[in-house]
Structure 1
Amino acid sequence: MNRLAIYCGSASPEDSRYIELARDVGATLAQRGIGVVYGGGRLGLMGALANGALNAGGEVIGVIPEALVGGEVANTDCTRLHVVASMHERKQAFTDLSDGFVTLPGGVGTMDELWEAVSWAQLGYHTKPVGLLNAFGFYDGLIAFNTHMASVGFVRPAHRGILIVEQELDPLLARMAAYEPHRPIFAMKKEEL
């Protein structure tokens, strides 16, 4: 994996562990020679992630919609900053520029990015690993919900392994590197659906 798209919040929670986590993830990826593709912002976890990677000498590619560039939200310190017209173009760029996806804690926008990466994997728009870093148990409820969706039958057995979940970065990256793509919906026959 040469580059990973990192999804995370643009907010700064009161609990400083989240900012430290993002900074550490950025630094660790840079130290391993893995470039960061992210939302291009300078605030919250996004800014901490970029700073961690840049301070460790890593490549940081920001992708930000034009509407968010103003108000000093865009991080002009990135190795490269792509300004795009829409959120859809932003998410397409994340997919095009990366070899996989890692989701850190975040809010609604982060969830949108995560679920689109999973959905596109199910369909067959990409065959890249989708990782979820469940630091501090932040995603326990989401993981339980994902398990519930699968147990009810809304996630096919062939797709239950798409979302790779770990509590720490090292085992998450190891599992992502070993990921074997599943059979996408586009390749399934009618009776398999």
Structure 2
Amino acid sequence: MTKYICVYCSSSCAIDEKYFSVARELGREMARRNIGLIFGGGMVGLMGETARAIHEHRGEVIGVIPEALNLKGIAYEKCDQLIVTKDLRERKATMEEKAAGFIALPGGFGTLEELLEIITLKQLRYHNKPIVIFNVDGFYNGLIEIFENIIKLNFAKKESRDLYFVADNVTEALDYIENYQPKEIASKWLTHVNQD
């Protein structure tokens, strides 16, 4: 049975070619490892690039797209299965349910929102699946600094670092997911910190 990884990523076609190159590499390697893709169902940007790369190497693709975006020129019509949802919330819930793990490639506000939600759901023990922040060419350095500041200022526990893995290349990202061993997730709740 094929394992599916959810890939969150950009729908922009105006970004640097280096991001498309990494998306193609990820798709090729996923197909080589017999890992299927579950994604937002778009044909544009890194979404379409990853899906096409997997198909070119005989991998499987499940798209999940809200009905408002299920339009010609936006939806990736070659999905092995295209699931149409009523809205973005249902789309995210469907991807979460079907995926064995999650990879966030570079993206915009939507990608960031998806990544933060899936980390929060893990923190609250709604799932215990691997999450990879794919830090292509330092794209996520600023976000990781924010995470570290959140921990430093006691807005989250230091164990929060275990909720996700930062990968710099395709091999690191997929190896982490394939070798992932779920650990007990620490309670998110911090007790009062004595400032004296």
Deviations 1:113-150 (A, max 9, x none): 10011000000111001101101111111111111111
Q: Tell me how far apart the structure 2 counterparts of residues 163 and 40 of structure 1 sit (CA, whole Å).
A: 24
Q: Tell me how far apart the structure 2 counterparts of residues 123 and 183 of structure 1 sit (CA, whole Å).
A: 8
Q: Tell me how far apart the structure 2 counterparts of residues 29 and 120 of structure 1 sit (CA, whole Å).
A: 25
Aligned match of 2:53? 52
Amino acid at match of 1:50: A
1:2 corresponds to 2:41: no
Q: Tell me how far apart the structure 2 counterparts of residues 21 and 30 of structure 1 sit (CA, whole Å).
A: 14
Deviations 1:13-58 (A, max 9, x none): 3411111111211111011000100000000110001000011100
Say what the alpha-carbon RMSD is for the aligned residues: 2.0
Q: Tell me how far apart the structure 1 counterparts of residues 154 and 165 of structure 2 sit (CA, whole Å).
A: 19
Amino acid at match of 2:61: V
| Equivalent pair of 2:31/2:58 in contact (CA under 8 Å) | yes
| Equivalent pair of 1:7/1:102 in contact (CA under 8 Å) | yes
Counterpart of 1:154 in 2: which secondary structure?
A: coil
Counterpart of 2:185 in 1: which secondary structure?
A: coil
Amino acid at match of 1:53: I
Aligned match of 2:180? 178
| Equivalent pair of 1:12/1:19 in contact (CA under 8 Å) | no
CA distance 1:184–1:86, shift in 2 (3 Å): farther
CA distance 1:117–1:33, shift in 2 (3 Å): same
Q: Tell me how far apart the structure 1 counterparts of residues 19 and 185 of structure 2 sit (CA, whole Å).
A: 35
Q: How far 1:172 moved relative to its partner? A: 2.2
1:73 corresponds to 2:74: yes
How high is the TM-score relative to the length of structure 1? Answer: 0.92
Amino acid at match of 1:161: D
Counterpart of 2:93 in 1: which secondary structure?
A: helix
Which ranges of structure 1 fall in alignment gaps of 5 or more residues? none
Q: Tell me how far apart the structure 1 counterparts of residues 67 and 74 of structure 2 sit (CA, whole Å).
A: 11
Aligned match of 1:141? 142
Counterpart of 1:111 in 2: which secondary structure?
A: helix
1:162-173 pair list within 5 angstroms: 162-173=163-174
| Equivalent pair of 2:62/2:79 in contact (CA under 8 Å) | yes
Q: Tell me how far apart the structure 2 counterparts of residues 31 and 41 of structure 1 sit (CA, whole Å).
A: 22
Q: Which moved more, 1:163-172 or 1:95-104?
A: 163-172
| Equivalent pair of 2:25/2:170 in contact (CA under 8 Å) | no
Counterpart of 1:132 in 2: which secondary structure?
A: strand
Q: Which moved more, 1:147-156 or 1:173-182?
A: 173-182
Q: Tell me how far apart the structure 1 counterparts of residues 125 and 29 of structure 2 sit (CA, whole Å).
A: 30
Q: Tell me how far apart the structure 1 counterparts of residues 50 and 94 of structure 2 sit (CA, whole Å).
A: 18
Q: How far 1:154 moved relative to its partner? A: 1.5
| Equivalent pair of 1:123/1:184 in contact (CA under 8 Å) | no
| Equivalent pair of 1:4/1:102 in contact (CA under 8 Å) | yes
Q: How far 1:12 moved relative to its partner? A: 1.6
